[in-house]
């Protein structure tokens, strides 16, 4: 009897050890967060790829929720600002959770503006001028009125 129970008990103990959730996010979480919230196109692309494969990053405990462009249109005049606004929300929410929001707010707002200008680069002539103007307005709004995630309106859960 003792021989039969020993492997079962050892096996059950092993399952409990491996099934227990990690108590802390990986140590490189601040580096990953910083990498995904820079003004560069490569930072934006890396974040978009990660957002598309959130399961891979689950251990980091990132907050992927968003309200997109808050009370402003997500696609003003047909300009696709929605994803740029989602990345901006990601930065605001996660730096606030890390307790380092004030030190990073300016960079997050600048990254939003860079993202919006990249959207506008697909246009030319009057349409580009209109897009750039709208991007500038959005940037000025978040720069002046950007709220901490706790003060912002309720967000959608991690939208696809």
- By annotation, the residues acting in catalysis are 88
Q: Are 62 and 43 contacting, i.e. CB atoms less than 8 angstroms apart?
A: no
Q: Are 38 and 111 contacting, i.e. CB atoms less than 8 angstroms apart?
A: yes
Q: What CA–CA distance (Å, rounded) separates 21 from 131?
A: 46
Q: What CA–CA distance (Å, rounded) separates 79 from 52?
A: 21
């Amino acid at each position: 009897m003792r021989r039969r129970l020993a492997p079962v008990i050892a096996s059950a103990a092993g399952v409990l050890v491996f099934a227990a959730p990690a108590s802390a996010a990986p140590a490189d979480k601040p580096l990953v967060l910083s990498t995904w919230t820079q003004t560069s196109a490569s930072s934006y692309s890396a974040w978009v790829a990660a957002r598309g494969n959130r399961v891979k990053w689950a251990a980091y405990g990132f907050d992927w929720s968003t309200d997109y462009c808050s009370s402003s249109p997500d696609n003003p005049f047909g300009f696709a600002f929605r994803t740029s606004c989602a990345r901006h929300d990601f930065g605001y929410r996660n730096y606030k959770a890390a307790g380092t929001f004030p030190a990073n707010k300016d960079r997050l707002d600048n990254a939003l503006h860079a993202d919006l200008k990249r959207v506008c680069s697909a246009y030319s002539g009057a349409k580009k001028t209109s897009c750039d103007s709208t991007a500038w307005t959005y940037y000025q709004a978040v720069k002046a009125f950007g709220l901490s995630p706790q003060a912002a309106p309720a967000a959608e859960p991690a939208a696809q």
